[in-house]
Amino acid sequence: MKTLVIQFIKQGGTSGEQTVCPSVVKEIEIYPFGMGFVFHDVERVAHKEAVENAWRFMEKMLEKGKYDILVLDELNVVLHLGLFPVKRVVEFLYKKDSTLHVIITGRGAPSEIVELADIVTEMKQIKHIFNSGVKSAIGIDY
């Protein structure tokens, strides 16, 4: 299935899926637009601009090509932090082609998104070795 992945937080070349997916599965297109984690209020304007650019790019890609799956990676985090209006996402979900499957990832999904979803999954860490001081490992944690 032809898949479009828009990454709202992750930066280019830094995630496992950016490294592995395109070389293994040719039907997956991944476009990172993020600036990394949001730590300070000063960065919010730049993050908002990056999110807006990602959203506009996604709309153009959907106009140009036929995709079966759209993954909006970490969009729930973006919405939770107030970096993009939930209303625009809801409007998009109502207007999208009925054959397009949309997957929205990230913690803190707004109730409006949860209500529209067909499936909602919550993944949570129960235990992780880095809590005992071990550094995160390439290929395991990122």
What would the pLDDT profile of 47-103 be if each residue is shown by its tens digit?
899 999 999 999 999 999 899 999 999 999 999 999 999 999 999 999 999 999 999
Domains of the chain: 3-132 (3.40.50.300)
Task: Please give the Cα distance from 47 to 26 (Å, whole number).
Answer: 29
Residue 9 CB partners (closer than 8 Å, separation 6+): 34, 35, 36, 37, 38, 73, 74, 77, 78, 106
The percent of residues in the chain predicted with pLDDT above 90, rounded, is: 53
Residue at 117: amino acid letter? A
